[in-house]
Structure 1
Amino acid sequence: MDHADAMPIAELLDERRFLLDVAYWMLGSRREAESVVDEAYGRWYGLSDAARKQITAPRCWLAKTAGGICLSRLARSDRADDATCVARAAEGPQAAERPAATLEEEVGRVLLDALDSLSLAERAAFVLNDVFGMSPDTVAGIVGRTEPECAELAERARHWLRVQRSRPTTPEQHDALARAVRQACVTEDANLLASLLCPHATAFFDGGGKVRALIRPVHGSRQVAHSLLTFLARRPRTTLTTQSVNGRTGLVARYDHQVAAVISLDIADHHVAQVWVVLNPDKLRSWNQPPTLGGPRSHQSPSQQGDG
């Protein structure tokens, strides 16, 4: 370590703990957080001496670097079977060893789990702004959006987290609402569909880079209704049915008897809060395999084979 980098051990450890906290809350995995922080310090020492001397706030630079690494890793991860969820569950109750133990006591495991349902940018903006209190310009630099855009992202995240804490929906209520959504889509009733959505509903379209789909999430009940009706516009040889998706009633769109899209719904307070549209052919491969002799596929419930 250069003489210019010399710091009291307490400050060194506090800086590393802070970076680990940031990475942990963005990725949800202690192992991943360690890896991110190691990479961030590696980039710091990869700079020339002259370049490091130009950085007046090393801790801020490291936080921006760690945040950028986290976003890159999240962008590469598969939301459907994100390995960080498995890693987090495998960590066990060793709170004393976790870099984010103090934060866990403050905001709780429920919040960390709820963060998984946010979009990349929303999660980053909320964590950096609300959990760590970083300045708006720092958050904007990490997320790659303008300060007003980051403020909007954080507000949407706060709203969704409040929705998550609201009264849960029973399976029967979820099923009834999903079937109502299907009926609105089939009859192309925009007003009915919008009324079934939360005012701040969000729709995500996952094409996996293999189908030309919307890249950015769609926000707002009217906008989400319009995007769904456009996407599910009735055409010859297309059908839309309700089926079990991830254990709850969702929608399945078919073209020529091939599953073209699987739609899952997150519901709160008797309205659809988030819509997840999977179009990635790789993720739909199991849906298009012939059923096994032992019974229906694991993602389908025998009592919900469709109401086409």
Structure 2
Amino acid sequence: MSTSIEPGLDGSEPDLSVVVGERRHLLNLGYRLLGSLAEAEDAVQETYARWYALSPRQREAVESPGAWLTTVAGRVCLDMLGSARVRRERYVGSWLPEPLPDRVEWSSVRADGDRSEPVDPADRITLDESVNMAFLVVLESMTPAERVAFILHDVFRYPFAEIADIVGRSPAACRQLATSARRRVRAAQTPAAPVAGRAALVRHFKEAWEARNIQALVDLLDPEATMTADGGGLVGTVLRPVEGSRLIAQYLIHIADKAPGLTLLERTVNGQPGLVAQNAGVTVTVAAFDLADGRVTRIWAVRNPEKLRPWTEDGAS
């Protein structure tokens, strides 16, 4: 297993720093499995709680603490995914994954909502293609077992024999789960555009939105584009996806007219060019984009304030 850690050379209980050093790996795993930073942090906390619930003798007997922690984290996330599916069926409007800022903009916010010092770099999610919004949205269409098998194997390169121990199925069954998940991802994939081209298209989109130029927005949108917004019932937003370039453009102009003080900022969202909307210095929307053939095909606008806590005024300005 890629994260295995050797116990103390003298056979004693593993050093605390070695065990705590697994936190970043576990957080990265948890976010990809759950699509929520808050839930990933809960999963990591539960994993460590189970580790420290072991007696010293039991911890000494663990051959590879890193492998043990990953196995437990995988099982915790699998359980959380099952309950999350039930909660999301009752969610008001569309549920979207929690957006992540670029690592240089990352800030920490305590559970009570107060801003704190910049987060420890060791706690940051590694931004790559496995956390872009399009990828995470596809993961939401998978069963919990499919998602765990696919992420552990295709993203973290765990062998199916070890995944089987986490999922509670045979290695062959886990292979089939990953294969099924892989088909879903391939069916939803669009040709990747160069980063510079993506950034330029998002910039043009921002400028057209600021200018309230409805025709320019229509021209930048694919005719069959879709915009999905997530307010979680906490803020006003459309509850169903808006489909079609003209309807999306009209809706965006309507938003701009209702919030004349809205400021749009170009920011990295889940590793890709995106937009952050602020009102009086407070981040109110984080938008991620999917692009194809020089046009915007999908927009995911996260407005639920509970999902915007990492996007502090300082971190997004």
Q: TM-score, normalised by structure 1?
A: 0.50
**Larger RCO: 1 or 2 (CA < 8 Å, sep 6+):** 2
Q: TM-score, normalised by structure 2?
A: 0.49
